[in-house]
Structure 1
Amino acid sequence: MDQPIKSLHPLPARESSVVAAAAYAGGRRVAEIMVEEAGEWSRRPGHVVWIGLHEPSLELLRRLQAEFGLHDLAIEDALKAHQRPKLEQYGDALFVVARTAQMLDGRISFGETHLFVGHGYVVTVRHGASTSYTPVRERCEASPKALLEGEDFILYAILDFIVDNYMPVIETIQAEVEEIEDCILAETSTQSHVRRLYQLRRDLLRLRNAAVPLVEVCRRLEQPGLPGINASMQPLFRDVSDHIRRVQEEIESLREVLAFAFETSLMTGQAQQTEITRKLAAWAAILAVPTAVAGIYGMNFEHMPELQWRYGYLLVLVMIGAFCSVLYWRFRRNHWL
């Protein structure tokens, strides 16, 4: 088995923005490289340079531009986050923007990955919340035959990794929504549950806006004519499109569930308020009887015959109790109490 080629001279410390930079040949890593020598490695026959950056400076991007001849507009887009997912072609090079997502502190945090893909090189630029692509690199290096395909396979592996990471986010939200639904059906939901449902629905809308445009990106990658994309890779990009459509279906289904849960929580709250109102009205009607009687006797009229009767006070109490008991029985029968 061929041994990986080692770099012949010691390398200086790598910049903090450069996560990884390596050259590959025959599907195997042959050297750790510096940005200043990336262009030379990429021009060697059968070699591919794969550089990973995290929130790089403009100066670092300019150095990469000098090495690979990157377009000014692509450099400008890669420097700034908040780009819409897209695919742009600049001559023989491609510039791809994808949105990443992960759960942080109960909310969906979004990041971006910008990819420069050209003959002999792939450069990834990550912004914001994004899972490290180290597992992607390790998976590719563990499969030299697949990595032998070159830069288009690396592009596919990264896009597939981004799309696959959408599903854990959806599953986490789905589990939380089921818990809130159980609280709603058990009539133990609170106002915080309603607010949480609204937050989750907004987050899912943002996730849909981040994921769905990748369908168009992959559709263009499926079609012939793009530089550096071999026909053998087109089915793989079609598979990524299928995954995105599945993610879209899951999002739409979950948003409907959230809408129903939100409406159910509101209806449950209204029903609880109505029930409380009925109870208050029923007790108010019951208490109205002794209040009215006490109000009459509190007016201190001089001629009230029952005041001179020995059992008058007892009779009034019995009548008050009887009226209140009848009212209580009727309200209980009508499920007001």
Structure 2
Amino acid sequence: MDWLPDHPSVVCGTQGVVASGVYVGGRRIADVAIEEAGQWARRPGHVVWLGLCEPSPELLHRVQVQFGLHDLAIEDAGKAHQRPKIEQYGDALFVVARTAQMVEGRIAFGETHLFVGHGYVVSVRHGASTSYAGVRGRAEASPLMLAHGEDYILYAILDFIVDNYRPVLETIQAEVEEIEDCVLASNLGEHAVERLYMLRRDLLRLRTAVRPLVEVCRRLEHVEALAIDAAMQPLFRDVTDHVYRVQEEIDALREVLAFAFEASQMIGQAQQTAITRKLAAWAAILAVPTAVAGIYGMNFEYMPELKWHVGYFAVLGVILLSCAMLYRKFRRDRWL
């Protein structure tokens, strides 16, 4: 599934190294070059936070050399189209999460790959993703929390990714409400039906991107299984709750869209039935003069009523009376 669109407004503005810094006790003490990052990360109490965007294979190799990253993790980080997951390589973690943004009325998807180890965090962004400069700024504004090091940075990035699903859902929810109003007002047009299908498909893709994050966060909660600070466990549990709520909202929106489509179909069928009834009623009414005219148009020799002086008016009276009775009956039965 080609879920990473080639759109200039959703890819990284600056490719390569976006930001890098060294933190001690929750405070940034210096910027760091990649060639020096490994040395800083090995110092006790130091944490290197390196942000990359659409890195080249050569840049990834340089980062791998500095932090001793696993070959398989580097291979995955060089490719987008990875399923959200968490893998452990020795004392290091490799986390994949999908990001989402609204672009020209469609959900554009991207990816973030996170390398987390003792003394370092490396984030690699691909495709549609908001800059993590805001995450870094908020983290630096809370040195007590940032003092927890790489575990808190991992939480901050995952929480930011999950929170960014909400604007997407709010935009879709507003459009869903407009579709509901259209359904109640009249039958959906062809364009509205196409849009409805497109929204349902995008929501399904978003659900596919969100759902695996539940398992990722749940694994991060179990500190006995992974090298995560026990104090961070409640924070990762909070992210898990946010993911659950996002998933529930996605399911609710998909159900509303399904109901809207079904309601539109039912309204359309009801309108077609009403039109068919009207046509049938008028056909029955017109059948009376047609039948009478057909009888008198057969030119039989013995038709006594043709000799009556009032024969013409009698036939017209019978036709009008019959049509009036049929019209009244159809009106009473609400066919007309």
TM-score scaled by structure 1? 0.88
Q: 1:109, 1:115 → 2: CA distance? A: 20
Equivalent residue runs for 1:242-281 within 5 Å: 242-281=241-280
Q: How far apart are 1:222 and its partner, in Å? A: 1.2
Q: Is the 8 A contact 2:187 2:267 kept in 1?
A: no
Q: Deviations over 1:138-174 (max 9, x none)?
A: 1112212211211111100010011111222222222
**SS at structure 1 position matched to 2:186:** coil
- What one-letter code is carried by the residue in structure 1 that aligns with 2:63? L
Give me the identity figure in percent. 74
Number of residue-to-residue matches in the alignment = 324
| 49-58 vs 86-95, greater mean Cα deviation | 49-58
Q: Is the 8 A contact 1:151 1:228 kept in 2?
A: no
- What one-letter code is carried by the residue in structure 2 that aligns with 1:231? A
**SS at structure 1 position matched to 2:233:** helix
Q: How far apart are 1:297 and its partner, in Å? A: 4.0
Change (3 A) 1:299 1:158: same
- What one-letter code is carried by the residue in structure 2 that aligns with 1:16? Q
- Indicate the residue corresponding to 2:159 in structure 1: 160
Q: 1:191, 1:222 → 2: CA distance? A: 47
Equivalent residue runs for 1:77-92 within 5 Å: 77-92=76-91
| 303-312 vs 190-199, greater mean Cα deviation | 303-312
Q: Does 1:46 align with 2:45?
A: yes
Q: How far apart are 1:273 and its partner, in Å? A: 1.6
Q: 2:303, 2:236 → 1: CA distance? A: 97
Equivalent residue runs for 1:38-187 within 5 Å: 38-187=37-186
Q: How far apart are 1:41 and its partner, in Å? A: 2.5
Q: Is the 8 A contact 2:187 2:264 kept in 1?
A: no
Q: Is the 8 A contact 1:152 1:228 kept in 2?
A: no
Which structure has the higher relative contact order (CA within 8 Å, separation 6+)?
A: 2
Change (3 A) 1:95 1:315: same
Change (3 A) 1:149 1:301: same
Q: How far apart are 1:301 and its partner, in Å? A: 5.0
- What one-letter code is carried by the residue in structure 1 that aligns with 2:19? A
- Indicate the residue corresponding to 1:336 in structure 2: 335
Change (3 A) 1:52 1:226: farther
**SS at structure 2 position matched to 1:146:** helix
- What one-letter code is carried by the residue in structure 2 that aligns with 1:49? V
**SS at structure 1 position matched to 2:49:** strand
Q: How far apart are 1:281 and its partner, in Å? A: 0.9
| 146-155 vs 301-310, greater mean Cα deviation | 301-310
What 5-or-longer segments of structure 1 have no aligned partner?
1-14
**SS at structure 1 position matched to 2:262:** helix
Change (3 A) 1:54 1:301: farther
Q: How far apart are 1:310 and its partner, in Å? A: 5.4
**SS at structure 1 position matched to 2:111:** strand
What is the Cα-based RMSD across aligned positions, in Å?
2.3
Q: How far apart are 1:303 and its partner, in Å? A: 5.8
Q: How far apart are 1:261 and its partner, in Å? A: 2.4
- Indicate the residue corresponding to 1:213 in structure 2: 212
Q: 2:175, 2:242 → 1: CA distance? A: 23
Q: 1:131, 1:54 → 2: CA distance? A: 11
Q: 2:138, 2:227 → 1: CA distance? A: 21
- Indicate the residue corresponding to 1:6 in structure 2: none
- Indicate the residue corresponding to 1:11 in structure 2: none
**SS at structure 1 position matched to 2:325:** helix
**SS at structure 2 position matched to 1:212:** helix
What 5-or-longer segments of structure 2 have no aligned partner?
1-13
- What one-letter code is carried by the residue in structure 1 that aligns with 2:290? T
